[in-house]
Structure formats: C-alpha cells, structure tokens
Amino acid sequence: GENAHKVAAEITAAGGKALALVADVTKTADLDMMFSRTTSTFGRLDFLHNNAFGMPAAQTSTQVAGRMADVADDVWTHTIDVGLTAVFRAMKRALPVMRAQGSGAIVNTASISGLYADYGIAAYNAAKAGVINLTRVVAIEYARLGIRANCVCPGAIHTPLLAPALEMPGFAEKFNEAIPMGRLGKPEEIANVVLFLASDLASFVTGSAFVADGGQTAKTGSPSFTPE
C-alpha cells in the first residue's frame, strides 16, 4: 500500500492524475470498491492489469513447493484464488465498463510456468495456465467490441516473491545457467512489455501470451553440442 501511494503522489506531482487503492483481490467487496472508486474518479476504464500474487500467509515459495500429492489443500485453494479466480473476478467487473465505452485493454500477468510444467509448484502451474486460457476466452469473445486481452509470461524475475528461493544455496546459479542471457529479469523489463500491450501500438494484438524470459523457453534443455 505504501508503494502505491508513493507512486500516485509522484504522478500527481508530475501533473498527472492518480488514485491509489489498497485491496485484497480475493475479497469481492474489495474488488467492488476498487472498480467503483476508479470509475467514479476517472469516468472510464481504459486498461486493466491483473498482476497481484502472493503466497499463503506466513509461508514462502520454499514452503509451498512439493510433489503434487503433497500439496496442502489450503495452499492449492489460496494459489488458485489469488492467481486465477481473482483475475476472473476483476475482468468480470472491467468488461461491462469497457464494453459500454467501446474500448479497453486487459493484460494479465501469467508465467512461463503456465506454458510448461515445473517440478514442485503444481498449484502455481495450474493457476497460470488457467490465466492464459481465460485471457484467450476474453480475447475472442470481446474482440469485436473494441476490447483486447493479452498475457505477459515472465520467466524468472528478481522480485520479493522469488527472493526466498534465491537464498537457497546454488539456486540462483542454477537459474542463471538455465537462462541463455545468463541472468534473471528485472521488473521494469516486464513492465515495458505490459506498457506495449496496453498501448495503441498493440492495436492488432489480442489473445496472445507474450514470453519475456531471457530465452529460457527457446531451448530444448539438452546440453550443448558445441565444445567449450
């Protein structure tokens, strides 16, 4: 919440108009408040970015990982609620507003984990795969109503969500080795993709899942055939 208010203040100071709201995306009342305040303040809704995600309370990415049969029901429920159901509910509220005004753009943050499987994070894989296909549904259903919907699928990005895993011995090195660019992505590198998809520069783009992963999913996983 503090960061949101800080950014809103910076936008206002620069001559723009901004509204910072703090909401729990798993609570319908909070979502209703967020959309009501936004439309009453600005009179329209041009863009929706579903980007919220978080681990269950008092747990981290290293504590929720495990084989599928070992995933606790509460971890599964929380991950699907935040990672998929909240996206559905937010779009459900945004679409009537955008349809009434005849235009709008939606970008949902998915993941390369929604395109391919990982070891040990079944709930996350399922949630992100659901986001990708739900986005495609919206894209085809609302394409002739002036509304576009796309996903961005980041690879490993240096964010607080990944921080606990990066503290595991050797984990960061393994990640860097798996990425052809040899490094994790930066949040602003994903933000640039989102900005493009939200803009009129992407006016003929809808139903797409844009991958930004430093080349991680461009390879087969086989070892190099070229001598070092």
End-to-end CA distance of the chain: 49
Identify the CA nearest to 199 among candidates 89, 103, 90, 98: 103
Which of 150, 157, 174 has its CA nearest to residue 213? 157
Amino acid at 191: A
Helix boundaries (H) for 23-118:
28-42, 61-64, 73-80, 86-101
**Could you give the CA distance from residue 102 to residue 104 in angstroms, rounded to a whole number?**
7
| 124 flagged as catalytic | yes
Task: Choose, from 116, 119, 124, 142, the residue flagged as catalytic.
Answer: 124
User: For 22-53, b where at least 16 C-beta lie within 10 A, e where not — what string?
Assistant: ebebbeeeebeebbeebeeeeeebebbbbeeb
Contact 155, 219 (CB under 8 A): no
Q: How far is CA 145 from the centre of its chain?
A: 24
Catalytic residues: 124
